[in-house]
Amino acid sequence: VSFLALSPVGPQAGRINNLWWILFWVCMAVFTAVSLALFYSLMRRERRADDDRSLVRGVAGASILTTVILLVLLTVSVSTGNGIHSVPDPNALTIQVIGRQWWWEVHYRHPVPGPEVVTANEIHVPVGKPVQLDLVSNDVIHSFWAPNIHGKKDLIPGHPNTTWFQVDRPGEYRGVCAEFCGVQHAHMAFLIVAEPEEKFRQWLEWQGKPAIAPVTEDQKKGHDLFVSGPCVMCHSIRGTEAGAQAAPDLTHFGSRRSIAAGTLPNTKGHLAGWIVDAQQVKPGANMPTMNLAPSAIEPLLAYLESLR
């Protein structure tokens, strides 16, 4: 999983990367020139007769050069800004991302009418295709940032934002919330999974399906505990009675790589820790620690893990 602005995998991050290197080398040259001039003037001991005239010429020359350099930097930075904000394709796949304290709710607008796809903290996209992102927040300001892919874009309550990106290299790229948004801001990561178009289509179709029914005794017991316990007050599992919208949709939770916005890898042990005492793992998160009966834990784990 990569998290590095200087390793761009798409046109937007590519332009930002170019701008960064231009700024770096220009500033490097200016710094070197100023240091040399300073060194030179410190080394000189006496004044010469024509010093005044060459001083005026030197200052005038440096001022003109400074203005030219700043104008060049302004031009490349404005053109980078224009380049990364234009929308290339009105038919681009559109994904709505809702920033929540402290996780990411993800909705896919289906290109053809079909079941809505809702997931959390993991965004799959097809390689080489433009993707439009609709960024929304209903609580506080968050900022969506996957440095390999694009610059930061804020999610502002009452002010939906749109941006677009494209990923040209298959892979998994980490993203984070880049705007302080409360106690668990540092545990608000997400993953962008870029895969070939065909694989992406399969993923989308599968995610649109309702949850698979429990099979084993444990899974059945877990399902009953889930829909009769406190979990249904916050979570949805499409295809069951659980339909609340206050927390991550768990319909295909078993297929996700992480728990609680990149806080823990999605393994049985970590999942047990999370459902037994979420506040221990992510203090302040909006999932309370519930007094689950010890006998409820194994079935709940079996059921949640089966939700592929």
Which residues contribute to the site for ligand HEC (CB under 6 A)?
Answer: 102-103, 120-121, 184, 226, 229-231, 233-235, 246-248, 250, 253, 256, 259-261, 275, 282, 285-288, 290, 292, 300, 304
Closest CA to 85 of 136, 18, 152, 171: 152
94-97: long-range contacts (C-beta < 8 A, 24 or more apart)? Answer: 94/131, 94/132, 94/133, 94/134, 95/123, 95/125, 95/131, 95/132, 95/133, 95/134, 96/133, 96/134, 96/135, 96/136, 97/123, 97/133, 97/134, 97/135, 97/136, 97/144, 97/155
Q: What is the C-alpha to C-alpha distance for residues 272 and 295, in angstroms, rounded to an integer? A: 12
Partner that binds at residue 253, options Cu ion, ligand HEC, none, CB closer than 5 to 8 Å by kind: ligand HEC
The structure tokens listed for 165 are 């990106």
Backbone φ, ψ for residue 100 (5° rounding): -125, 155
Partner that binds at residue 142, options ligand HEC, Cu ion, none, CB closer than 5 to 8 Å by kind: Cu ion
Partner that binds at residue 181, options Cu ion, ligand HEC, none, CB closer than 5 to 8 Å by kind: Cu ion
The structure tokens listed for 252 are 């295909």
Partner that binds at residue 246, options ligand HEC, Cu ion, none, CB closer than 5 to 8 Å by kind: ligand HEC
For ligand HEC, the closer of residues 120 and 167 by Cβ is 120
Distance between terminal CA atoms of the chain? 22
DSSP element (H, E) containing 71: helix 51-85
For ligand HEC, the closer of residues 166 and 266 by Cβ is 266
Partner that binds at residue 18, options Cu ion, ligand HEC, none, CB closer than 5 to 8 Å by kind: none
Minimum CB separation of residue 300 from ligand HEC in Å reads 5
Q: What would you measure as the largest C-alpha separation in the chain, in angstroms?
A: 100
For ligand HEC, the closer of residues 13 and 287 by Cβ is 287
In whole angstroms, how large is the CA radius of gyration of the chain?
Answer: 26
Q: What is the C-alpha to C-alpha distance for residues 135 and 156, in angstroms, rounded to an integer? A: 8
Partner that binds at residue 103, options ligand HEC, Cu ion, none, CB closer than 5 to 8 Å by kind: ligand HEC
For ligand HEC, the closer of residues 88 and 265 by Cβ is 265
Minimum CB separation of residue 160 from Cu ion in Å reads 16
- Contacting residues for 105 by C-beta, under 8 A, at least 6 apart: 97, 98, 118, 120, 248, 249
For ligand HEC, the closer of residues 145 and 226 by Cβ is 226
Minimum CB separation of residue 266 from ligand HEC in Å reads 8
Q: What is the C-alpha to C-alpha distance for residues 73 and 11, in angstroms, rounded to an integer? A: 20
Minimum CB separation of residue 286 from ligand HEC in Å reads 4
* Ramachandran assignment for 11, one of left (phi > 0), alpha (psi -120 to 50 degrees), beta (any other): alpha
Interface contacts to Cu ion, rule CB under 5 A: 142, 177, 181, 188
Minimum CB separation of residue 276 from ligand HEC in Å reads 9
For ligand HEC, the closer of residues 22 and 232 by Cβ is 232
For ligand HEC, the closer of residues 12 and 121 by Cβ is 121
Minimum CB separation of residue 286 from Cu ion in Å reads 13
For Cu ion, the closer of residues 154 and 218 by Cβ is 154
